[in-house]
Amino acid sequence: MEKGPLTLAIESSCDDTAAAVLHGLEVKSNVRHSQLDHHAFGGVVPEIASRKHGQLISAVVNQALIDAQVDKADLTAIAVTQGPGLLGSLLVGHSFAKSMALALNLPLINVHHMKAHVLAHFLVEDGVQSRSSISFPFLCLTVSGGHSQIVRVDDWNAFTILGETLDDAVGEAFDKAAKLLSLPYPGGPEIDTLAQQGKARFKFATVKIPGLDMSFSGLKTSFIQVMQRHQQLHPNTLIDDLPDWCASIQKALISPLIQRTTMAMKQEGLRDIAIAGGVAANSHLRSSLTDVAKHSGWSLHLPPLSYTSDNAAMVGAAAHFALQNDQIDHVSSSAKARIPIDA
Ligand code: KG4
Ligand code: ZN
């Protein structure tokens, strides 16, 4: 058995029930059960999500311990996502973590879900940091189903929002667009895959927002108008030209992210840039940013795909920094649907 801090991390903020064991920042196991029950409904159903978390949490935690070959008696800390997220879902993971911390007499570390997405860049696997080594300060584009933010990260717990969406998150916009194209949920990966065989030949009206903020809800209205107009001349266009629709929608959603991120990098005079969250898996976002970074002389940090969507290893990464700074929480703390990242 290795010596040193051994953390069990739990994530249950949305529709993934996840647990991981970390030795410091080194990932020993990372188990994730994505609840497929929501697909038939075209989106996450909060009541189903919390019920499924309740059914799965114990088995997922046990599997994480087995994969890491760690006995729970050897753990030295319990970390858990406190929020933001779906309250019913968060409560399951949070209560489970509190019970374990109490029963095993271990420190409890509450983790902010979006900070965890960002701090996943520091994870180490098989002795190697996930990608090129990253250090503070850096800029991070955090893009998921619930958030779209450009944040300046000065330290593990010093996040400043420079710009954010004023309405829908970009992942949500991907999912809504996919629904219009009769693609299954979650739509982001579907659009991404189909777009690779298409041409971005359809143009949509964009909303001009000053500064570094963004807006995605207006694009949905424009998609509908452009699609309906085109369908009048080509009734089968949504089937015949599906890859082109996907490529066009993807470009319309990713372009403002690239444009705002570039503005933010110039404004802040930073050299390091990272992306995080579910939409960080998007191939067009990754390749476009790679090109811009090369041209601008930035050091770009792309997370491995296993750490883009919700996972518990990222929660363990955030907890590692908290533990180093003696930031322990009380078992009387509770889960919260909303917690600002810059608090
Ligand atoms: O971070 P995440 O797993 O959960 C939240 O905290 O929201 O992000 C899920 C979101 C979904 O909206 C999904 O459609 C989107 O990330 N997503 C993608 C891709 N993979 C996942 N969007 C675009 N392209 C992808 N390849
Ligand atoms: Zn997330």
What are the structural domains, with CATH classification, of the chain?
Answer: 6-126+309-324 (3.30.420.40), 138-303 (3.30.420.40)
CA-CA-CA-CA dihedral for 195, 199, 202, 207, to nearest 10: 60
Per-residue pLDDT tens over the stretch 27-54: 999 999 999 888 888 888 999 999 999 9
- Rounded Cα gap, residues 276 and 140, in angstroms: 7
Q: Mean pLDDT throughout 286-295? A: 98
Q: Which residue among 12, 16, 38, 144 is best mutated to probe the pocket of ligand 1, counting the most ligand atoms within 8 A of its Cβ? A: 144
Query: How many other CB atoms are there within 10 angstroms of residue 256's CB atom?
Result: 20
Instruction: Give the pLDDT score at 38.
Output: 87
DSSP class of residue 325? Answer: T
Q: Are strands 77-83 and 6-11 parallel, antiparallel or unpaired?
A: parallel
How sure is the predictor about 133, in pLDDT bands with cuts at 50, 70 and 90? confident
Give the number of C-alpha atoms closer than 13 A to the C-alpha of residue 201, restricted to the C-beta side.
9
Which ligand ends up closest to the CA of 309? 1
- Total residues found in the chain within this entry: 343
pLDDT band at 1 (very low <50, low <70, confident <90, very high): very low
- The angle, 0 to 180 degrees and rounded to 10, between the axes of the packed helices 87-104 and 46-68 is 30
pLDDT at site 129 = 62
Q: Which of 256, 257, 258, 169 minimizes the C-alpha distance to 206?
A: 256
In tens, the pLDDT along 202-237 reads 999 988 899 999 999 989 899 999 999 999 999 999
Residue 127 has pLDDT above 70, yes or no: no
Say if CB 264 and CB 162 are below 8 A apart.
yes
Cα of 18 vs centre of ligand 1, distance in Å, is 16
> Of ligand 1's atoms, which has the minimum distance to the CA of residue 284?
24
What is the mean predicted confidence (pLDDT) over 261-282?
Answer: 97
Q: Among the atoms of ligand 1, which is closest to the Cα of residue 310?
A: 3
Q: In the structure, what pLDDT confidence band is assigned to residue 132 with cuts at 50, 70 and 90?
A: low
Say how many C-beta atoms besides its own lie within 10 A of residue 150's C-beta: 26
pTM of the model: 0.95
Of 2-11, 148-157, 171-180, 304-313, which gets the smallest average pLDDT?
Answer: 2-11
Q: Specify the residue with its C-alpha closest to ligand 1, atom 23.
A: 188
Please give the distance, rounded to the nearest whole angstrom, from the Cα atom of residue 334 to the centre of ligand 1: 26
Q: Minimum-distance ligand to the CA of 32?
A: 1
Residue 138 identity (one-letter amino acid): F
Is the separation of the CB atoms in 319 and 109 below 8 Å? yes
pLDDT of residue 2: 43
Query: What's the rounded mean pLDDT across residues 293-298?
Result: 97
Predicted pLDDT of residue 41? 87
The string of pLDDT tens digits covering residues 79-126 is 999 999 999 999 999 999 999 999 999 999 999 999 999 999 999 987
Q: Show the ligand 1 pocket: residues with CB < 6 angstroms.
A: 14, 144-146, 171-172, 174-175, 186-189, 192, 277-279, 281-282, 309-310
Tell me the per-residue pLDDT of 136-195, one tens digit each, with 9 for 90 and over. Answer: 999 999 999 999 999 999 999 999 999 999 999 999 999 999 999 999 999 999 999 999
Collapsing DSSP states into helix, strand and coil, what is residue 54? helix
Please state, in angstroms and rounded to a whole number, the distance separating the CA atoms of residues 310 and 116: 9
- Span 306-326, average pLDDT: 96
CB-CB contact of 312 with 64 (8 Å): yes
Which residue, judged by its Cα, is nearest atom 1 of ligand 1? Answer: 278
| Cα gap 31→12, rounded to integer Å | 12
Provide CB contacts within 8 A for 223, sequence distance 6+: 177, 180, 204, 249, 252
Residue 101 Cα to ligand 1 midpoint, Å, equals: 31
pLDDT band at 317 (very low <50, low <70, confident <90, very high): very high
Looking at the CA of 172, which ligand is closest? 1
Mean pLDDT of 18-35: 96
pLDDT value for 5: 86
Q: What confidence category does residue 131 fall into, taking pLDDT thresholds of 50, 70 and 90? A: low
Burial 47-62 (b: 16+ CB within 10 A, else e): ebbbbbbbebbeebbe
Substitution site in 174, 216, 220, 305 for ligand 1 pocket (most atoms within 8 Å of beta carbon): 174
Query: With 70 as the cut, is the pLDDT of residue 325 above it?
Result: yes
**Contact between 323 and 77 (Cβ < 8 Å):** yes
Q: What is the pLDDT of residue 125?
A: 85
In this model, does residue 3 exceed pLDDT 60?
no
Q: How many angstroms separate the alpha carbon of residue 110 from the centre of ligand 1?
A: 23
Q: Ligand 2 centroid to 161 CA: how many Å?
A: 17
User: What value does the mean pLDDT take over residues 261-273?
Assistant: 97
Residue type, 67: D
Q: Cβ distance 226 to 177 under 8 Å? A: no
Tell me the CA–centroid distance for residue 188 and ligand 1, in Å. 6
CB 180 within 8 A of CB 225: no
